[in-house]
Chains A and B, each alone.
Chain A
Amino acid sequence: MLALDHIAQSYGAKPVLHDVSFSLSPGQIGCLLGPSGCGKTTALRLVAGFEKPDAGEIRIAGELVARPGFSLAPEKRRVGLVFQDYALFPHLTVAGNVAFGLAHLGPADRAWRVDEMLELVGLVQEADAFPHQLSGGQQQRVALARALAPRPRLLLLDEPFSNLDVELREKLSLEVRDILKHEAITALLVTHDQHEAFAMADVIGVMHKGMVQQWDSPYNLYHQPANRFVANFIGQGVLLPGEVLNSRQVEIELGVLEGHIPTDCDEEGGCARCEKGCQVEVLIRPDDIIHDDASLLTAEVERKAFRGAEFLYTLKLPGGSRVLAQVDSHHNHALGERIGIRLGIDHVVAFRK
């Protein structure tokens, strides 16, 4: 439904996007996730048509909409856009805002479509209210209804929940996902908040320095990060030094881990296979460390953070390095106490040093 092919973009001498490629199939919800300045908003604006690519091609539903020297005007792309600050028209009512993109319809059809949209987002009562009379969450839903009303081929959302408080953000992102799935809408979302991305998206592209570092499912991003940046950016965890024993085993301070030792490609693009004796770093997530009183391996509790259902312990290993451990909250240990731990790792994630 949407395909970006080797897109590059720069402002003057400053490159913003570098060789960005990804695609969405119909009904899929994609997300560009990354810290501010990573180029994700530029990518979204390229798809919307407010920016023009220096290289590469963009297709929507198979139709070529942008390549160097050609760019279909935003109003002709049939995409919907939900802005970060919503950009509702303050002089128009909720119904007026939703009807704004329906100029091509007759009055009866327009009214019918507006009603349908307001029902979809649950704002029928507020049809005659003005934007400033609504709460932030309601304004957000008006923006969504306005964008969806003209039946766009693709919906773009620019940090749609960043102006809301945390609780509302989670609730609304699930609501919006339900609406998009119910209407079978293809959507691309841009955010810096991974919880938002996980709640909304089927597939996520982690962006950094103008490049898509990994385009994958949320599950894979967490459990099989493609590089150090993704490993650090997604979830919590630490990298422990280790040594490769053979093609199936790597040894770290906590013991020998079994599994596939991935090759790691350096920045020049050469992929060297890690042989015996190769020094690596192994990603250890808090849920990889299992608290086990029977274990002979112990670690000292250095810090702890109570999170309701569980504790997040920072544990100091005998060798001096630290790991994070997620432990049921009825295991309440004092600082300085030594507790037994063992490893429970399904996939070994190792990066060459």
Chain B
Amino acid sequence: MTPTGKAPSEGAFSISSSVLPWSVTLGLVLLVLIPMGVVASAMLDPDQSIWAHLWDYVLPEVLLNTLWLALGVGLGVTLLGTGLAWLTAACEFPGRRFFTWALLLPLALPAYVTAFVWIGLLDFTGALPTWLRETWGITGIPPIRSRGGVILVMVLALYPYVYLTARSAFQGQGRRLLEAAQSLGVSRRRAFFRVALPMARPGIVAGLSLALMETLADFGTVAVFNYNTFTTAIYKAWFSMFSLPAASQLATMLVFFVLTLVLFEQFTRASHSYATPARGSGGSRRIRLSGGLAWLAWAWAALVFLLAFLVPMLQLLFWTRQVLGEDLDARYLAFASHSLLLAGLGAGLVVALALALGYAQRLRPTGPMQFASRLATLGYALPGAVLAVGFYIPVAGLDNLLIDTWREWTGEEIGQVLGGTLAVMLLAYCARFLAVGYGPVETGLARITRAMDEAAQVLGRTGLRRLAAVHLPLLRGPLLAAAALAFVDIMKELPITLMTRPFGWDTLATRVFEMTSEGEWERAALPAVAICLVGLLPVFYLIRHSDART
């Protein structure tokens, strides 16, 4: 008999023990619903003039651009990611072991960094075209600042999502099923299309939807390319037109796209979950690529690695060396310390909230609770630009209320209380990155089985003593991982930081943005390098803990 799924004895049916878990979870659900509700409420009161302006001058371009971008990036990352995953998971060619993990390294580079490096290199005044023009007289290279260019750069930055999930799907298949297909008279080549690929589809779709969410949420890359999408339109509506209602309306439309994507992903996951075959069914025996094919595979993997990681990284370091002497000053240290402080605070908050949510789930593992926690972790899908607007408006409203109330009571005028602090930023970070922290925490908590809890109890350790003797040591690793992931994500985060930071509060990321908008690539490189180097840490952690070493 398996242990029943029913709640155990610890006061299972008392109402009071449900209050804390539920209030934690519902609080976190509100963290996602409030910004969505705030931007959506702008739709209820559409100012006709704003709407007309958006409809005439903004939406046609933005809609078309966004759709092309999503289509191009989606197709590109699927082909590139799945192909590379199949090559490194099922084939054998020179350098395969190296490429298996090296192809994950681009995860450390924020897309906006890859973007400005390639623009710096390939723009009309960039090094490569200049050299081609002056030495060989070659002109007419397709311009990098184009729809094709932005799609290409984003594919290079985002393919690792598909690569990672598709690869672990291929890896988990084992060779039994392919052998079964072959024994039924299907050739190996056809078995790939009839068995391996369909079985890996849930993994591919999972990676694809992550990549598409990043695409829709992206602000930095499209801003560098001057390619107008919803996120840049929100930014302009707010900071050029000074119209929060217009920003809200654009944000609502973006949320609509994102939610469609989320629904699609959930639906695919629910209808295509295949049980993975039992462990010990043998790792897949690789297809040994022969001569020419092997070198072709090598060249392909090497090209992707070169374009997506090595060239941008080396170019960054090169530029950094040029400006190191003059730019590495007190101001730069202020950017860095702002980044560290924000990322540290944010990561701490995210981990604490993720832990609270995890324990709420563990104490009340009921259906409604699971649904609520899924809602609470939905914030990862909400673009930073949406969250920035969605939290700024209510916090500013609260501020005005405080100012008015204070004036009525005391007759004195006070300045903003919450506005101009880190409050809005931190709220938005928590909403957006809760899922990042919750993943490791959830996995970590699942490893502490109910039987372990009961074993500790029978052996005389309950309550806090059980937490200290069993839970804390087992959760240390996952908590560190959660903190590291959240830390890096916050450090490279751009739209929230840019739109809601207190005046003068520049970070490494906003400095990169500022310098790239002025086309000063060399000076953008120094803060970018710092972000990338920190970003490598969780990638190495990921490489160690994924099956990317086999």
Residues on A close to B: CB < 8 A?
A: 11, 36-42, 45, 48-52, 71, 73-75, 77, 79-81, 83-85, 87, 89-91, 100-101, 103-104, 146-147, 150, 159, 190, 192
- With a CB–CB cut-off of 8 A, which chain A residues contact B3? 41, 45
Q: Please report the C-alpha to C-alpha distance between residue A87 and residue B466 in the assembled complex, in whole angstroms.
A: 14
Contact in complex: A87, B9 (CB < 8 Å): no
Chain B min CB distance to A155 (Å): 11
Which residues of the other chain, A, contact B452 by a CB distance below 8 angstroms? 87, 89
Residues of B close to A42: CB separation below 8 A: 1, 4
Tell me the bound Cα distance from A83 to B453 in angstroms.
Answer: 11
Given contacts A36-B1, A100-B469, contact A75 B459 (CB under 8 A): yes
Which residues in B have their C-beta under 8 angstroms from that of A37?
A: 1
Contacts of B2 in A (CB 8 A): 36, 41
* Chain A nearest Cβ from B399, distance in angstroms: 47
Residues of chain B at the chain A interface (Cβ within 8 Å): 1-4, 6, 8-9, 447, 449, 451-452, 454-462, 469-470, 473-474
State which of B1, B6, B454, B461 has its C-beta within 8 Å of the C-beta of A87.
B454
CA distance A302 to B458 in the complex (A): 54
Please name all residues of chain A whose beta carbon is closer than 8 Å to the beta carbon of B473 when the two chains form the complex. 91
CB distance from B466 to the nearest CB of A (A): 10
Q: Could you list some 5 contacts between A and B, CB below 8 A?
A: A73-B457, A75-B458, A80-B458, A89-B456, A89-B470
Q: Which residues of A contact B6 (CB under 8 A)?
A: 11
Separation in Å of the A256 CB from the closest CB of chain B?
44
| B450 → A minimal CB distance (Å) | 9
**Residues of B contacting A52 with CB < 8 Å?**
9
Main secondary structure of the interface of A (DSSP, over half): loop
B369 to chain A minimum Cβ distance, whole angstroms, is 18
Closest chain-A Cβ to B297's Cβ sits at a distance in Å of 36
CA distance A51 to B458 in the complex (A): 13
Say yes or no: A87-B449 contact (C-beta < 8 A), given A49-B9, A51-B9, A74-B454: yes
Contact A48 B459 (CB under 8 A): no
Contact (A83, B455) CB under 8 Å given A51-B9, A52-B9: yes
Partner of B458, one of A74, A103, A159: A74
Would you call B455 and A87 a contact (CB within 8 A)? yes
For the complex, give the distance between the alpha carbons of A50 and B458 in Å.
10
- Check A73 against B462 for contact (C-beta < 8 Å): yes
Contact indicator B8/A50 (Cβ below 8 Å):
yes
Instruction: Looking at the assembled complex, report how far the CB atom of B464 sits from the nearest CB atom of chain A, in whole angstroms.
Output: 13
Q: Chain A residues with Cβ under 8 A from B461's Cβ? A: 75, 100, 103
Q: Which residue of A lies closest to B449 (CB)?
A: A87
The 6 closest A-B pairs by CB, nearest first: A101-B459, A87-B451, A41-B1, A87-B455, A83-B451, A91-B473
Decide: A40 near B460, CB < 8 A? Known: A11-B6, A83-B454, A83-B455.
no
A-B pairs with beta carbons under 8 A, tally: 80
- If A50-B8, A79-B458, A81-B454 are given as contacts, then 12 extra A-B residue pairs at C-beta distance below 8 Å, sorted by A number, are A51-B8, A75-B458, A75-B460, A75-B462, A85-B451, A87-B455, A89-B452, A91-B473, A101-B459, A103-B461, A104-B460, A159-B1
Q: Is the CB of A71 within 8 A of B9?
A: yes
Contact B458 A48 (CB under 8 A): yes
Q: Is the CB of A75 within 8 A of B457?
A: yes
Partner of A146, one of B447, B459, B474: B459
Contacts of A87 in B (CB 8 A): 449, 451-452, 454-455
- Of all chain A residues, the one with the shortest Cβ separation from B462 is A75
A104 to B454, CA, bound (A): 19
Q: Min CB distance, A136 to chain B, in Å?
A: 13
Q: Would you give the shortest CB distance from B321 to chain A, in whole angstroms? A: 45
Per the bound structure, the CA–CA distance linking A101 and B447 in Å amounts to: 21
Which of these, A41, A91, A103, A190, contacts B460 with CB under 8 Å? A103
Beyond A75-B460, A91-B474, whether A50 also contacts B451 by CB under 8 A is: no
- Cα A87 to Cα B474 with chains together (Å): 13
CA distance A130 to B388 in the complex (A): 48
Contact among B1, B9, B459, B474 for A100, CB-based, below 8 A: B459
In angstroms, Cα B460 to Cα A81, docked, is 12
List of A residues within 8 angstroms of B469 by Cβ: 100
Q: Which chain A residues border B460 with CB–CB below 8 Å? A: 75, 101, 103-104, 150
CB contacts (< 8 Å) of A39 on chain B: these are 1
Bound together, the chains give a CA A222 to CA B451 distance in angstroms of 34
Nearest chain B CB to A96 CB, angstrom units? 10
The chain A residue sitting closest to B455, CB to CB, is A87
State the CA gap A41–B447 with chains docked (Å). Answer: 22
The distance from the CB of B474 to the nearest CB of chain A, in whole angstroms, is 6
CB atoms of B1 and A74 under 8 A apart:
no
A89 / chain B contacts, CB cutoff of 8 Å: 452, 455-456, 470, 474
Cα distance, A71 to B458, chains bound together (Å) = 14
Residues of A within 8 A of B451 (CB): 83-85, 87
Complexed CA–CA distance, A97 and B353 (Å): 31
A residues near B457, Cβ cutoff 8 Å? 73-75
Say how far A299's CB is from chain B's closest CB, in angstroms: 40
Closest Cβ–Cβ distance, residue A104 to chain B (whole Å):
7
Query: What B residues does A51 contact at CB under 8 A?
Result: 8-9
Is A100's CB under 8 angstroms from B456's CB?
A: yes
Complex interface: chain B residues within 8 A of A38 (CB): 1
